[in-house]
Amino acid sequence: MKRRQRRAFTLVELLVVIAIIGILIALLLPAVQAAREAARRMQCTSNLKNLALAMHNYHDTNRHFPAGFDRNTATSSAANNRECWGWHAMLLPFIEQEALHDQLNVSSMTLQQVCASATSQTVVLMQTKLSIFVCPSDAGGSDLAHADRHFGGGVGTNAGGLGDWRPGITNYIGNRGVKDKPRDDGDTHGVLFFDSDMKMARISDGTSNTFCIGERSSLPGRAGAWIGVRNPNGDGSRGLWYNIGHSRSQLNAPTPPIGWSSDKGSGEGFSSDHPGGANFAFCDGSVHFLADTIEFGTGAPSGRSGQIWNDFSPGDSDYDWYYVYHRLSRRNDGFPVSIP
């Protein structure tokens, strides 16, 4: 009997098959990645929607939104040497975290008092990662805030002698307005700032035309800390930028705008790891994705002082050069704009 000879693949045929498989994988991977990012962006939108609803529930209960960070009445030798609860901590009972809120004594003690008497168990509580505060697309890869957002040591109290420690992370930052100077005094025309008790009636440009919360990526920016702020008047990445931000820096700008690098907090704006923009929760409870191509200006008109960013009279025609991104962050400038 004749034996049937089996013909094997030639090397050329094998290489062609491998090349075809490689092409198919190359075509499939972007679609898979896009689908995953769409799911992550949807979850981020859901997080912000729930935070916006919590803001409204807080407003219904207290007749105002929470403060960006609170007035610390603890005795201190210097104004800077204090820690203050932020708006995230005040929202805990409204996002099904009442037990954590009570364990940290948010309503009955200042953050400085809690830090001063903290044990390692207290610090663990303040390092809790809460998924509602974290964007699933964030590329930072840490459950803790950026190293610059530490507590203990240096300026401020040293929590129970425990040394420097980093609190739990948040990618969702309160809207302070355009003003970028790290001062904890006065109305900065946003929604969440020092000791603010913002009522909806004071958002005269309209709650649907003013955003309340925006994203901040861990990279290249510095994500925030949900417990609050440390050293409110500190320079650079210290202080109030732990949980609030401004629109003076361009959305998703990798560095502070040219000419503003010397300004305190000039890089503490909004950003995300979503391609092309970031999610924002508006004061009416809606969530919108703003493209990083949104109309944005890099400075005052010729002959106008840079101080114009910080001082203005609502409705003053001298300020009609403000761009869409800036106007969406100001609640009462008299120039309401629709969401692009």
Quick: pLDDT tens for 292-320. 899 887 655 555 554 555 555 555 555 55
219 pLDDT more than 60: yes
Q: Give per-residue pLDDT as tens, 234-248.
A: 766 667 889 999 888
Segment 206-229 shows an average pLDDT of 90
Q: Residue 202's pLDDT is what? A: 95
Selection from 71, 259, 100 nearest residue 167 by Cα: 100
143 pLDDT more than 80: yes
Segment 123-136 shows an average pLDDT of 95
Q: Is-contact 111 84, C-beta < 8 A?
A: yes
Largest CA distance in the chain: 104
User: Quick one: CA torsion of 9, 10, 15, 18, rounded to 10 degrees?
Assistant: 0
Q: Residue length, the chain?
A: 340
Selection from 244, 213, 245 nearest residue 56 by Cα: 213
**More confident: 87 or 12:** 87
When pLDDT is cut at 50, 70 and 90, the band that residue 338 belongs to is confident
Q: What is the rounded CA–CA span in Å between residue 236 and residue 189? A: 21
Q: What is the rounded CA–CA span in Å between residue 193 and residue 209? A: 18
Q: Residue 197's pLDDT is what? A: 92
Per mean pLDDT, which range of 221-235, 247-261, 273-287, 307-321 is the poorest? 307-321
32 pLDDT more than 80: no
Q: Residue 113's pLDDT is what? A: 85
Q: Is-contact 76 169, C-beta < 8 A?
A: no
Q: Which residue shows structure tokens 């705008």?
A: 257
Q: What is the rounded CA–CA span in Å between residue 120 and residue 231? A: 22
262 pLDDT more than 50: no
Q: What is the rounded CA–CA span in Å between residue 251 and residue 247? A: 7
Q: Where are any strands of DSSP class E within 38-123?
A: 83-85
173 pLDDT more than 60: yes
Q: What is the rounded CA–CA span in Å between residue 214 and residue 199? A: 19
